[in-house]
Amino acid sequence: MSMAMARLFLLSALCVLLPALVLGQFQIQGRIYCDNCRFGFETEITTYIQGATVRLECVNRTNLQVMYSAETQTDSTGTYNFDVKEDHQDQMCNCLLGKSPVANCNKADRGRKIASAVLTAYNGVVNRFHKVNSMGFLINEALPHCKQLHNKYFASE
């Protein structure tokens, strides 16, 4: 490799790495669904909720004091994004399920209302994009089709 090429290579490597390491910019992405079977997880007929609210919160692990908080809404595919400018190092960061605009699907599934998020590069993670687990609301009454799906998703006894 020539000197010029080596320089160019180094320069482009720095352009890719520096923003993530120095500016500490992170993107958190997740989805919010309506558990229309009340199974407790996503299925092939799960629908995703537009306009659901979600909060991203980072707390001090020692005294649980809130150090960072942001709120957003899901788009038409039930997807939300948080862009976070700073590194949250040893804080504990979570996405928290907010409110659902769907009248018959607005009760948070207690087992699926929090998703942990990584907002630090100090642990050696350079990837600034993180997908977090989906969170969901329970429909008031399971759809009829769910009976057929039951055997597929739950091991038969």
Interface ranges with ligand NAG (CB under 6 A) = 60, 62-63
CB of 124 to ligand NAG, least distance (A): 20
Three-state SS string across 101-148, please?
Answer: CCCCCCEECHHHCEEEECCCCCCCCCCCEEECCCEEEECCCCCCCHHH
Nearer to ligand NAG, 67 or 149 (CB): 67
CB of 62 to ligand NAG, least distance (A): 4
CB of 60 to ligand NAG, least distance (A): 4
Strand, coil or helix: 87: coil
Nearer to ligand NAG, 60 or 116 (CB): 60
- Helix, strand, coil tally for the chain in percent (to 5): 20, 35, 45
CB of 61 to ligand NAG, least distance (A): 7
Nearer to ligand NAG, 63 or 151 (CB): 63
CB of 123 to ligand NAG, least distance (A): 15
Nearer to ligand NAG, 62 or 156 (CB): 62
Nearer to ligand NAG, 63 or 76 (CB): 63
- 34 to 90, 100, 113, 128: CA distances (angstroms): 32, 9, 12, 28
Name residue, tokens 């039930």.
Answer: 78
Q: Is 45 left (phi over 0), alpha (psi -120 to 50) or beta?
A: alpha
Q: How many Å separate Cα 121 from the centre of its chain?
A: 17
